């Protein structure tokens, strides 16, 4: 059997005493608690109110379809999205975390937030990981909070803010700049005592479409930095604009690029559509690389 020699035999992250193995790639299902996510079918907020039945149905469906992690986000980071207050983000996110934790006590839950106060509240409510699109650049207290809570942290590369990021797409060397940023931020986390860090190169965040494809084409170079890598490319504009469609028509392209990300060494696929991603992983494993 062929072996993927880029990884040690066992990769685990410690989720408050529960070990999550990344020895094989896994799926993170996206649960959007926003009214304006770029993919309309993923929204679980209606008229400003959380639809608890819809949330539980979607969460249960994702877990049955093969999701290992559920990623709950209450602040839309798409370009042009409306800003919301910290309290509004908490009011959206925390009831959802509590609802899913009660219904699915064994699920791994990730809180998608760049705010340390929201992160702290989410962990207290039952979340296991923090997924920060700002990589600690949007809240000076985030790294200290993660280190204090001793929870896994997904460190994403982004420049500027969600509102300004597409004004910051000039790089001397895209891969070198992204890699240096991720490594420097991870070093700062480790100095504070944080342990489990996952890299997300930030597809679509402060990057042009061509830069996104260059980043994906060379994703193995990010993998070789020695941290588990998350690929977040599901239904993004790099796919649907390249294909002349929209987010609703981007599933086939998403699945194709997921296969490429897996071949490059991605360990987590963050997705809207769990079953196709889980099947891609299943077939990837049949090739015998892991």
In the set 58, 120, 185, 270, the catalytic residue is 270
Measure CA of the first residue to CA of the last residue in the chain; give whole Å: 9
Q: How many whole angstroms separate alpha carbon 255 and alpha carbon 151?
A: 30
In the set 236, 241, 267, 286, the catalytic residue is 236
SS3 7: coil
Question: Is 286 one of the annotated active-site residues of the chain?
Answer: no
User: What phi and psi, each to the nearest 5 degrees, are found at residue 134?
Assistant: -85, -10
User: What number of H helices and E strands is found in the chain?
Assistant: 10, 12
Give me the residue label for tokens 């925390």: 94
Q: How many whole angstroms separate alpha carbon 259 and alpha carbon 261?
A: 5
Q: How many whole angstroms separate alpha carbon 261 and alpha carbon 269?
A: 8
Which string of DSSP letters, residue by residue, matches 119-184? HHHHHHHT--EEEETTTTSS-TTHHHHHHHHT--EEEE---S-TTTGGG----SSHHHHHHHHHHH
Q: In what order do the strands lie in the sheet with 67-73?
A: 197-200, 153-156, 129-132, 108-112, 67-73, 26-32, 268-271, 230-231
Q: How many whole angstroms separate alpha carbon 51 and alpha carbon 159?
A: 33
Question: Is 270 one of the annotated active-site residues of the chain?
Answer: yes
Catalytic residues: 236, 270
């Amino acid at each position: 059997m062929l072996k993927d020699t880029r990884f040690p035999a066992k990769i685990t992250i410690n989720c408050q005493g529960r070990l999550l193995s990344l020895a094989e790639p896994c799926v993170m299902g996206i649960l959007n608690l926003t009214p304006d996510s770029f993919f309309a079918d993923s929204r679980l907020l209606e008229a400003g109110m959380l639809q608890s039945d819809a949330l539980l149905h979607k969460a249960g469906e994702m877990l049955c379809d093969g999701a290992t992690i559920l990623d709950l986000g209450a602040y839309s980071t798409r370009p042009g999205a409306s800003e919301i207050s910290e309290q509004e983000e908490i009011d959206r996110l925390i009831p959802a975390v509590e609802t899913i934790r009660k219904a699915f006590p064994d699920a791994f839950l990730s809180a998608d937030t760049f705010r340390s106060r929201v992160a702290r509240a989410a962990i207290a409510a039952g979340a296991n990981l923090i997924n920060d699109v700002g990589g600690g650049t949007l809240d000076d207290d985030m790294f200290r909070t993660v280190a204090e809570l001793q929870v896994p942290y997904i460190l994403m590369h982004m420049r500027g803010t969600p509102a300004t990021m597409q004004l910051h797409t000039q790089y001397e060397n895209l891969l070198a700049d992204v890699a240096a940023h991720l490594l420097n931020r991870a070093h700062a986390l480790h100095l504070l005592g944080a342990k489990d860090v996952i890299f997300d190169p930030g597809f679509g965040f402060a990057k042009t479409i061509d830069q996104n494809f260059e980043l994906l084409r060379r994703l193995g170079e990010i993998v070789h930095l020695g941290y588990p890598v998350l690929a977040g490319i599901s239904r993004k504009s790099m796919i649907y604009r390249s294909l002349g469609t929209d987010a609703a028509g981007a599933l086939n392209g998403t699945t194709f690029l997921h296969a490429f990300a897996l071949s490059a060494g991605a360990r987590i696929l963050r997705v809207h559509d769990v079953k196709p991603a889980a099947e891609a992983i299943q077939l990837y494993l049949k090739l015998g690389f892991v």
